[in-house]
Amino acid sequence: MDVRIAAGRIAEIADGLPGRADLDGRGGALIPGLHDHHVHLMALAALAASVRVGPADVGGRAGFAKALRSGNPGEWVRAVGYHESIAGELDRWVLDELVPDRPVRVQHRTGALWVWNSAALRAAGLTGDGRFWREDERLRSFAPPVRLDLEGVGRRAAALGVTGFTNADPRPADGLVGMLSALPQRLVVMNRDGPVKMMLDDATLPAPEELAARMAAARPRTVAVHCATRVQLLVTLLALDQAGPVKGDRIEHGSVIPLETVPWLRRLGVTVVTQPHFPVERGREYRTDVDPDDRPHLYRCRSLAAAGVPVAAGTDAPFGTPDPWSVMRAAVEREGKETVGRRAALDLFTGEPEHPGVPRRVRVGAVADLCLLHVPLQEALATLTGDTVRAAFVGGHRIQPG
């Protein structure tokens, strides 16, 4: 078929349209461009200037210490992806034993915790045990600036067919939208032009009435509530019942969704934006970190869709792989009963940016955010790999060479 684009939208689809063709698909499928519905773009851009210290990167304590000592003497070390299976719980004194002679800051795999050693605290004029829980905004002014490879993020994502991002930072930095404009992809930024992000932590969990009041104050905007535990989900559902749901409200992660809450989610009509790759990427740690009662309910996908709950996916990069095709494969190949079919896995990343659970289609009138493949659709579904991507387009303009 021939596809004609005008004013950023698909104007015609037919066999043998007259006139010069802008693109020859050569038998490859044309599909909606992929949209990563939950990603942390500034943290992802900082990855190039960071040392990766996840379990797969460093192994154990010795490898962790070696990684922290990399780089030029005296320079700050920014390490990311840490998990307790490497060297246990961290504080300034544990880090001092490993690296006493240079400023070091280590981010936990969840992204919620930074741990600084004594040299870093002294350099910043800070005190305490070096543990900072959800204090990224305050810490920005104390740590040296990090080189941000936004161009690389956009280029690598375009090569994978990604034409859009939803940035999920709960407290975006001043000037964030301007900085992200360097990306060629279409952007939705939570707490700016996107939904209102609401963070929940078990230690400071609000009462349902309090959370409902926050939701009501955000209306008519939609809300995106971070739910990483069973109790966070239950409080959120109670609050949504009280505040009243709005089309486009979202549950972020849905890490633990007990089966009995699935009809409740369907009744509310909220979309679950999940990470089906986490049980694959973090399976070993989950076997020890997660309560046995919660393990059957981790990162539901198939059961939600079967019940009529809108489902979409985000990579949560850099806290997970930035490759949506890898997430799709995990959704298909993961252990247990939450696997999905290959087309359903693709649809996890082809939803409307503002309504992730509503898949887009290549049709007349649609926004021309498109991904052209080297191969027919069935062949692409059989492999679910970014190697099948030929080119990506935003509003009909190529952002990745074919």
- Separation between Cα atoms, residue 238 and residue 73, nearest integer Å: 52
Alpha-helix runs per DSSP H in 143-204: 150-159, 176-180
Q: What's the pLDDT score for residue 303?
A: 98
- Relative to beta strand 250-253, strand 271-274 is parallel
The hierarchical CATH code for the domain 34-43+148-359 is: 3.20.20.140
Per-residue pLDDT of the chain (402 residues; tens, 9 = 90+): 889 999 999 999 998 888 877 777 888 999 999 999 999 999 999 998 899 999 999 989 999 999 999 877 788 999 999 999 999 999 999 999 999 999 999 999 999 999 999 999 999 999 999 999 999 888 988 999 888 999 999 999 999 999 999 999 988 888 888 999 999 999 999 999 999 999 999 999 999 999 999 999 999 999 999 999 999 999 999 999 999 999 999 999 999 999 999 999 999 999 999 999 999 999 888 988 999 999 999 999 999 999 999 999 999 999 999 999 999 999 999 999 999 999 999 999 999 999 999 999 999 999 999 999 999 999 999 999 999 999 999 999 999 765
Q: What's the pLDDT score for residue 74?
A: 80
Q: What's the pLDDT score for residue 401?
A: 61
- Separation between Cα atoms, residue 303 and residue 305, nearest integer Å: 6
If phi over 0 gives left and psi between -120 and 50 gives alpha, with beta otherwise, what is residue 173? beta
Q: What's the pLDDT score for residue 16?
A: 86
Burial environment of residue 9 by CB neighbours within 10 A (0 to 12, 13 to 18, 19 or more): middle
Q: What's the pLDDT score for residue 24?
A: 76
- Separation between Cα atoms, residue 368 and residue 90, nearest integer Å: 48
What stretches of 245-388 adopt beta strand conformation (E)?
A: 250-253, 271-274, 311-313, 370-373
HSE, side-chain direction, 13 A CA sphere, residue 156:
15
- Separation between Cα atoms, residue 266 and residue 305, nearest integer Å: 10
Domain ranges across the chain: 34-43+148-359, 51-139
DSSP 120: H
- Separation between Cα atoms, residue 376 and residue 382, nearest integer Å: 10
Q: Which residue type does 155 have?
A: R
Domain topology for 51-139: Diaminopimelate Epimerase; Chain A, domain 1 (3.10.310)
State the pTM of this model: 0.94
